[in-house]
A and B are shown apart, each in its own frame.
Chain A
Amino acid sequence: MATSSSNSPALLEIAEVSKSFGPVAVLRSVSLQVTKGEVVTIIGPSGSGKTTLLRCVNFLESYDSGSIRIDGKEVGYRDSGTRQRRSERDLAAMRAETGMVFQSFNLFPHLTAAGNIMLGLTKVRGKSNAEARSIAEHWLGRVGLAHKADSLPAELSGGQQQRVGIARAVAMEPKILLLDEITSALDPELVGEVLAVVKSLAEDGMTMVMVTHEMAFARDASSRIVFMADGGVSAVGPPKEVLAAETTNERLRTFLARFRASHF
């Protein structure tokens, strides 16, 4: 039922990943493949492991078993097969290949909007200040904040902060962009401006994996939707299939019904 094009190799390959916090299994043998240019949205009830899965992709969380590969390269562990955690230096280099946008923005409070974007460009990508500044200005322009380059995060609205957060992530030219409930902390009237930015990135062909509660957006912007429940992938497919009201998946039907009830 999945429409992931099987002819092109997966950019992101999650294979049978499991993880427990103590006695609680948060991920149960999760497998998922994402090809270049795809926008994959993960939905599901809270506690279903969506955010944990996303955080495993750039190894902000470790996983107990299974493998996560980006462009064929194992993310958190050495390729030797002994399941040895990569060195911090290697992990940093791996993480630079993915970008992440957070629910709570997590901008660096002591740096301006431009400074937030420039930090990774200068320290990780080794660009000169001038070069980094011009890249930062370019991306701030893309998210509609060219005039806020020298503003500190505290001087920006939530929606503006989140757009800087997106610019900070994409300016690093990641292979994959991870979006973790990026509109959940925003006032409703600010959600639109952030989603518009995500939409335009999707149109540019940016590969994205996002966790969201914005069902309408997920339906319109995703190539595929993954429904997670109890730490596992319960359903996956194109938005029309997964969000269909007449789905036979009991968990999914309950989730969607509850969701519709609370949001309309």
Chain B
Amino acid sequence: MGYTLNFNLIWRHFDKLWGGLLLSLELAVISIAIGIVIGLVLAVWYVSAGRVVRTIIAAYVEFIRNVPLILLVYLVFYGVPTVVDLAYSAPTSFVVTLSVYSGAYLVEVFRSGLEAVPRGQLDAGKAIGLTPWQRLIHVRLPTMLRITLPALSNTFISLFKDTSIASVISVPELTYGAQWINFNTFRIVEVYLVTTAMYLVTGYALLFALRLVERRFRAAR
């Protein structure tokens, strides 16, 4: 009893947290960018493909969604290099994992968005003589985007938080920085209070920015 909060040691090592936060954001942005490409390509492929392709894509999505991220992180970082002759850094390994992971979630978001585009709009695109590719680019994707934006924002925030898992393979992101300070100063309450606040503020800032984008699109509906 009688624990007194003392943040001095935290501030002394704050560069671990600040640098960690920047790395967390970097991991999230790169993984989400790759995930968006995976998600879009597979979602477009899914809605236009036959049963076999659909089954394969669905299997990928189901596999990823039913395996905890931390296991995937271990699998890619420790498992893959022991089987095949491949060497990569922990951050690279994590980006690969989170990209594949986010891709699976984004396939679902994009797929349901594509399927929610009203058929009448596609008919209108056909009726003026657009080719399938032109209908996709000029009719289906823009409408899909405005339908999926809210779900997309939630997925992005969630993926940003998932970067904390990278700490288990010693990627020096925010959670890892917090652990480092904890081990070296034993100010466990203070460090996790500050870290939590940093996740919260960043998460809210992201959400706020994404909601602004959404509002712009909604106004343009």
State whether A152 touches B129 (Cβ < 8 A): no
* Residue B139, interface by CB 8 Å: yes
State whether A95 touches B123 (Cβ < 8 A): no
Bound-complex Cα distance A58 to B128 (A): 10
Within 8 A of B (CB), among A104-120: 104-110, 119-120
* Residue B189, interface by CB 8 Å: no
Within 8 A of A (CB), among B175-213: none
State whether B129 touches A93 (Cβ < 8 A): yes
Within 8 A of A (CB), among B114-137: 118, 120-121, 123-132, 134
* Residue B138, interface by CB 8 Å: yes
Given contacts A109-B143, A110-B142, A172 and B128 within 8 Å (CB-CB): yes
Given contacts A152-B220, A152-B221, A154-B221, A107 and B129 within 8 Å (CB-CB): no
State whether A169 touches B130 (Cβ < 8 A): no
Q: Which of B121, B132, B138 contacts A106 (CB 8 A)?
A: B121
Bound-complex Cα distance A92 to B136 (A): 13
State whether A92 touches B131 (Cβ < 8 A): yes
* Residue A25, interface by CB 8 Å: no
* Residue A88, interface by CB 8 Å: yes
Query: Number of contact residues on A: which range applies?
Result: 20 to 34
Given contacts A60-B123, A104-B120, A124 and B128 within 8 Å (CB-CB): yes
State whether B123 touches A110 (Cβ < 8 A): no
**With a CB–CB cut-off of 8 A, which chain B residues contact A120?**
128-130
Query: Number of contact residues on B: which range applies?
Result: 20 to 34
* Residue B111, interface by CB 8 Å: no
* Residue A186, interface by CB 8 Å: no
Given contacts A109-B143, A110-B220, A119 and B127 within 8 Å (CB-CB): no
Bound-complex Cα distance A108 to B117 (A): 11
State whether A100 touches B127 (Cβ < 8 A): yes
**With a CB–CB cut-off of 8 A, which chain B residues contact A119?**
128, 130, 138
Bound-complex Cα distance A107 to B221 (A): 11
* Chain A to chain B contacts (Cβ below 8 Å), 5 pairs: A58-B126, A94-B129, A95-B127, A97-B129, A123-B138
The 10 closest A-B pairs by CB, nearest first: A96-B129, A120-B128, A106-B120, A106-B124, A100-B127, A124-B129, A110-B142, A92-B131, A95-B129, A92-B129
Q: Given A94-B129, A105-B120, list of 10 further CB < 8 A pairs?
A: A95-B126, A96-B129, A100-B124, A109-B221, A110-B220, A124-B128, A152-B221, A168-B124, A169-B127, A172-B129
